[in-house]
Structure 1
């Protein structure tokens, strides 16, 4: 079994190689079996992490070991606290998703509409969180208080943050957000076909993702 530190470093390098983490942007964390959060340090380059030089926090945000953590650590902790099954969080500044975060949200529950089955299956509803300066704990608190389930969010004018039961799932969701954002931008003002409420909700049930289609007038 791969150690959490090594898995984090390997996944970070993969995302950087895909071009989804320019410069020293982006941050990744995993929660280990002891409940501690291993997080990339502030200013880290995801392409060149040292598994022995990760920040270690508890779920209350206390810095236990390692270098100073990314200032985005409150977002990571919010996802862990709102859903104990989450074991990993990925936050990127990937280009297409950042562009999508600058657009009006499709609905209250999802910034991005159900354009593809894979977005619904691998990510699910992705709310747009109002703009806040990077690292603002109030934005993380707003994420933690959302009254509906979600495994991803778009930070307005900033980019995506995803969570999952495994690091692979969280990373896959981040990649899928980038892909569906690219499609959204390619369509532009044209009214492309969306999955119907029935199609979206059937996929969510089958694959265990979070989706409530507000076109049904659901609460």
Structure 2
């Protein structure tokens, strides 16, 4: 029985459109160019931050984050950044008695912004707040601790095989691969993904039936 559902953030709950557009504007590079670079690094299997290094060789991303915040052009999230199935799915999961956790590779500031949206979740946590990021095993140990259920009773949902599905499965969690965003679409039918993920879903509103089953 599944008792806890843990969801990734970027391209699982939140669209990355604004995130990459804001970086393009900050670096004074056409938005299409940055989007294409993101696609290129995804296809190579690289971390998405590699797109910024291609756009601006030698970039100090942490320093640029600080400069953006100082200029009033830092991170921003509002209701329009959420996928339309987020609130219905999370609300139904809680109605079924599941503990719902949001945990992904985001900054501490992103955690604050997500909590301000008052999502139907029991806990919202980010790698910036935990001090450890996916795919590190310690991140998933923190997930299990927060879940308040056994790994076999905990489902981790995400779009990125290397950051979400493979390390979560290695930690003993059940997994659902979401066909969403560039990583989700590109690797949805990859043999290692289909062999590892317990379920593959197209929308978050597919999750409640997993609990019912």
TM-score, reference length from structure 1? 0.26
Q: Which has the higher helix share?
A: 2
Greater RCO structure (CA 8 Å; 6+ sep): 2
